[in-house]
Chain A
Amino acid sequence: MKHIQEQQIIKKEQPNNQNELVNILHPFVKQWFFSKFKEFSLPQLYGVMEIHSRKNILISAPTGATKTLTGFMAILNELVDTADKGILENKIYAVYVSPLKALNYDIEHNLITPLKEIEAITGKRLGIRVAVRTGDTTQKEKIAMLKNSPHILITTPESLAILITSVKFRDYLKDVQWCIVDEIHALAENKRGVYLSLSLERLNHISPSLARVGLSATIAPIEEIAKYLVGSRNCTVVELQFLKQLDMQVISPVKDLINVSHNDLHHELYTLIDKLVQEHKTTLIFTNTRAATERVVHHLKEKFPKNYTENIGAHHGSLSKSHRHNIETRLREGKIKVVVCSTSLELGIDIGYIDLVLCLGSPKSVARALQRIGRSGHQLHAVTKGRIIVLDRDDLVECSVLLKAAVEKKIDRIHIPRNSLDVLAQQIYGMAIEQVWDENELFETIKKSYCYFDLKKSDFEEILSFLAGEFSSLEDRNIYAKIWRNDGKIGRRGKMARVIYMTNIGTIPDQTGVEVKIGTQTIGFIDEGFLEKLKKRDVFVLGGSTYEFRFAQGMVCQVTVSAGKPPTVPSWVSEMLPLSFDLSLEIGRFRRLMEDKFLHKLSHEDILTFIHEFLYVDKNAAEAIYNYFRLQYEYVKEIPHDKKILIEHYNDREESKIMVHSLFGRRVNDVLSRAIAFAISRSQKRDVEIGIDDNGFYISCEKNVNVLSALKLLKADKLKLVMENAIEQTEVLKRRFRHCAQRSLMILRTYKGRTKNVGRQQVSSMILLAAVRRISPNFSIIKEARREVLEDLMDIENAMVVLRMIEEDKIKIKEIHTSIPTPFAFNLVMQGYTDILKIEDKVEFLKRMHQMVIAKIALQKKNISEDKQKDFLKNNSIDYHELWKKSEDKKKLEEEEGKQHLKFLAYNLKHVPTFAKEQIIKIIDGETDDIRADFIEDVKKYRKEIEKEWPKELKELVLNIALYDRRYEAARKL
């Protein structure tokens, strides 16, 4: 029987002392080090000795805490020693893996320069070679590396896998002593990290004495990350989370976030940004989305042309590599005053001296906030200074709680994807190219990775069977098989195997945007998934303006400007960062404490003091938060929180929505809302519309539905089954299937020297999905797409936690009815719908559409008078177009008449001052952007009278606009 050794993850509590470290250093290195530094830094005192003794170690510390040098010091020391003795071999001693491609600067800084300096000090040529191998490495450089192996190899996860598979290079990788994984926090939570974890096992398989060194920013849970780094082995953990002094504040551009016009808020926001930027030397601004990045740069330049010229720059993923590189270089050289980025500068590379970080809107997780703000004061002991600017009251509460968690060192936990079958397929293919494997040995090797430690044998078998083409008939199998299976062994098949593998390696799906154009002028980019949803004449929002869709040609989408028309399709929210579950619970807890204060009828002063002390916010913010909660409490006497879900039945003349206040973050709400919608639509046989945000979700349906009973019917242990059905028809599953098919090499991006564009891939994947479903609805790659959607994109695990708490009555559910939504529901109401849950079968949908069309045709026929009908039939098409035009004109006329009628009513209102009537006319004309604040105040003040006396249609319009339209403005103000 095999002896199973318990894995040990040990926290290192005490650092080594300076002398211990000095003693292990080679004289050259010692001399060099103290010529540059006075003493060892804390991370070095903790880490260098462990790396020196070839122990696995994870070092978690903020950016700029000399992590990289810590990682390399013991390795440099060893290599200098070996070189000095003249026994340096032609092989790789250390591999350094980073998710970033543009590493040259950092490597120069941390490796090449020290080596040069050591050589200069000692006057001896050591001959230690460092080489960078990424997708950008030239053929010439590759050949040079093959001749003379580097001693330290700098690479990316993708290139590492290629090198392990390469016949010649592989030999240099057979005695690697260390592997450093940098920016591990950015890898562990996605499939790229899963991929790397298997590559590390492959490297370990040929280099058995490998020690792993992980470098991470502030992250939680640290033990899981350590396990991710080492798989089933032992690991030392060094956690130096809060070395730097943290100066972090939440600020609002205006005192009162609700009674302010969009224009004023906009103005104040940019004035505030400008003020902060001017007070500091270099500022980095994070905006969360690419579009907002552009907007902020644009507005700053426009409003303060003297302050912002060449000294401001945008940095995000859609910009060209050279543009981004240029910005980074100028930042480092101190030649730029302010850089606005989406999320792209969160990671790694040294960007020089920054003394202020601004976050516009919530960073959505504590770890991310620390990561961003940690970009300032990029030296070990400098103060980090960050300001989060909030733009609405939900944001204010969220960021204030986030601030509290950051100060109190409560870091939210990340999710590490597990048992991804698509990545597994790609890696097994690579492994089969490497050598012939015994199936059991292969399985055991894979299970050493943390991402696969509980991989089911049946899933493993399925992937082998998939790769061996066993899904096809015997006579076709030679075409479909990528590997052979025989007698418990597997190996590669086909002459093309290596080329196919090397040119299609990786896990990041192609995501080129569709270009949106008016004529030849480019407006911007939309996601291809979004394009799929568009039909002729649909109106959508892009960069703050509305456009009407005309047609698409390949990856170009032609539109016309459509000012003033409301969008008919929801804006694309895939870019939005989800609120972390842990942080959402913290916000829920704060809400609960607040409700408690109101229930116990605490005084205004006492509650203010509580907020002020609990949240570390200033008086103004405390007052704003107080008012927000008071409004909610006084309106319905219910504040939803972590132990109470509030179901709000909101009904006004036109629509009824059922809003569920469930503050658990978008990823959990995605699951809850779809599961409920599915349960409802199953019984009602109708498509259900859902809208989701971090604070809750809504459900809307043509018929009345009972959300409460649906929610209570859902059971945690059945949730997975329900959800698998609920997502089966969704766009998101189709899209994720394409990604999975690509990763598992069912769709080859590059084949026979040709590269497929995304559009082509999408068409292919639709056909593929249909074909694969015929083989089995549980085909491994479909199964993986479902898993990815439910576990990685959404958060079914924590949704189950919530449901369990409902079952155990730890979370209570309350119901209320409103005709004007509660303050906490404003943002949700204003949001367009996110998705239609297609419950109705495609077959059923057709039947219903048929009935509808037939009914409408009958109705139309009745409406066309005898004469017209004759004409219509006689001259068919030409008359038809005229008729169409006429009816359109008529519609417009009716609209105009409707407006005139409303205006007439407005003029005839009694007890209403002229200025107010003017404002009402503006509202009727749809010019709601700059309604005067005093008018809004008055409407609120005289609401009762208005409700009683005004004509119905007028009062509805005005109340709607006055009471919450500006909330809509606030939500999209950036």
Chain B
Amino acid sequence: MQIIDNVKIIGLMLYLKKQRTLILSDIHLGYEEYMHKKGVVVPRFMLKDLILRLESVFERVKPEKIIITGDLKHEFGEINQQEWREILRFLDFLLKHCREVIIIRGNHDRFLSPISRKRNIMLQSSVVIDEYLIAHGDETFDIPENVKTIIIGHEHCAISLKQKNRVERYKCFVSGKIMIKNKDKKQKYNLIAMPSSNTITEGTDVLDEQLLSPFLQHDLSDFSVFVVGGKNYDEMFEFGKVKELRKIV
């Protein structure tokens, strides 16, 4: 499904068709070990699960570039053993399927560069490809002239749907127009906020909960919601606008 022209949803990822670029967000590798350190014995499944989903994506598209919009790893303050092993394994897997992997530094990624350097990948604060600016979304910054669309992660977008006593939460993309004051000039941009590409938790309810990203502090009433469903996150549903959903769901 296409969110805006040239930008397509594939599973929990985005694909820029013309640029042949696949965008993943908030993977949080190392989460199981982090939980384990807190005394919860979560078996490791995320990497395996992610690779399986990516393999099916690569059957459909052949990206040249893969961008990770931040929070590739989970631990804030250190590198745990699982992260060392799995991030390298993951990067090797990606590099087998594309020419270039770009990693944007997320707020969880403070200690990621020692790992990424092993594969000669430098962390970036944001990337501009043609008219698209891709950033983690935890901070604001100056936006280059030609940018029209901003794509962010960080928020782990989701919505809760309720009917009678039943409540279910689904991952979703939200997309809409925002005005940003950039270099004393107000300018209009398309903004796309992504769900997390991992399958541990659904994420933050964009209808109900307090959102973190400075990009999402605007009124989101006119934003469109694209829900990702299906057993393998392979079905897309356009759910109308936030304001309509707030009223109905």
Contact = CB atoms under 8 A, between A and B. Distances in A.
B240 A687 contact: no
A576 interface: no
Given A772-B43, A774-B45, A850-B237, A876 B219 contact: yes
A772 B201 CA distance: 14
Nearest to B33: A479
Contact of B200 (A570, A767, A836): A767
Given A843-B230, A843-B231, A846-B229, A748 B43 contact: no
Contacts of B243: 877, 880
A751 B38 contact: yes
A845 B166 CA distance: 10
B247 interface: yes
Interface residues of A, number: 54
B244 A835 contact: no
A874 to B, nearest CB: 12
Contacts of B235: 843
A845 B161 contact: yes
A111 interface: no
Given A687-B166, A846-B227, A853 B41 contact: no
B165 A860 contact: no
A877 B237 CA distance: 24
The main secondary structure of chain A at its interface with chain B is: helix
A775 B32 CA distance: 14
B167 interface: yes
A750 B249 CA distance: 39
Contacts of A856: 244, 248
B65 to A, nearest CB: 30
B214 to A, nearest CB: 18
A845 B41 CA distance: 31
Interface stretch (A72-80, A252-260, A468-476, A889-897): A468-476
A602 interface: no
Contacts of B170: 846
The main secondary structure of chain B at its interface with chain A is: mixed
Interface residues of B, number: 44
Contact of A756 (B39, B49, B160): B39
B168 A747 contact: no
A850 B49 CA distance: 27
A748 B40 contact: yes
Given A838-B166, A853-B244, A846 B237 contact: yes
B237 to A, nearest CB: 4
A842 interface: yes
Given A836-B164, A849-B249, A747 B201 contact: no
Contacts of B245: 853
Contacts of A748: 39-40
Given A536-B208, A847-B229, A860 B244 contact: yes
A746 B41 contact: yes
A713 interface: no
A375 B106 CA distance: 64
Contacts of A845: 161, 163, 166, 168
A842 B49 CA distance: 19
Contacts of B227: 846, 850
Contacts of A749: 39
Contacts of A752: 39
A768 B42 contact: yes
B222 A842 contact: no
A875 to B, nearest CB: 11
Nearest to A569: B165
Contact of B240 (A471, A473, A765, A854): A854
A1 interface: no
A251 B244 CA distance: 56
A106 to B, nearest CB: 36
A853 B49 contact: no
B247 A533 contact: no
Contacts of B230: 843
A747 B41 CA distance: 6
Nearest to B81: A479
Given A847-B237, A856-B248, A836 B166 contact: yes
A766 interface: yes
A850 B44 contact: no
Nearest to B208: A536
Nearest to A755: B39
A857 B244 contact: yes
A358 to B, nearest CB: 36
Contacts of A479: 33, 36
A953 B35 CA distance: 59
A535 B201 contact: no
B239 interface: yes
Contact of B167 (A535, A754, A775): A535
B20 interface: no
A748 B40 CA distance: 6
A480 interface: yes
A824 interface: no
Contacts of B160: 535
B85 to A, nearest CB: 8
Contacts of B41: 480, 745-747, 768
17 contacts: A473-B44, A479-B36, A480-B43, A535-B160, A570-B165, A687-B164, A749-B39, A752-B39, A764-B42, A768-B40, A843-B231, A843-B235, A845-B161, A846-B170, A847-B237, A850-B237, A853-B249
Q: What 5 A-B pairs have minimum CB-CB distances, sorted nearest first?
A: A751-B39, A748-B39, A877-B219, A846-B229, A764-B40
Given A473-B44, A767-B35, A877-B222, 14 more contacts: A535-B160, A535-B162, A767-B200, A768-B41, A836-B164, A836-B166, A843-B230, A846-B170, A847-B229, A849-B163, A853-B239, A853-B244, A854-B240, A856-B244
Interface of B: 32-33, 35-36, 38-45, 49, 160-168, 170, 199-201, 208, 219, 221-222, 227, 229-231, 235, 237, 239-240, 243-245, 247-249
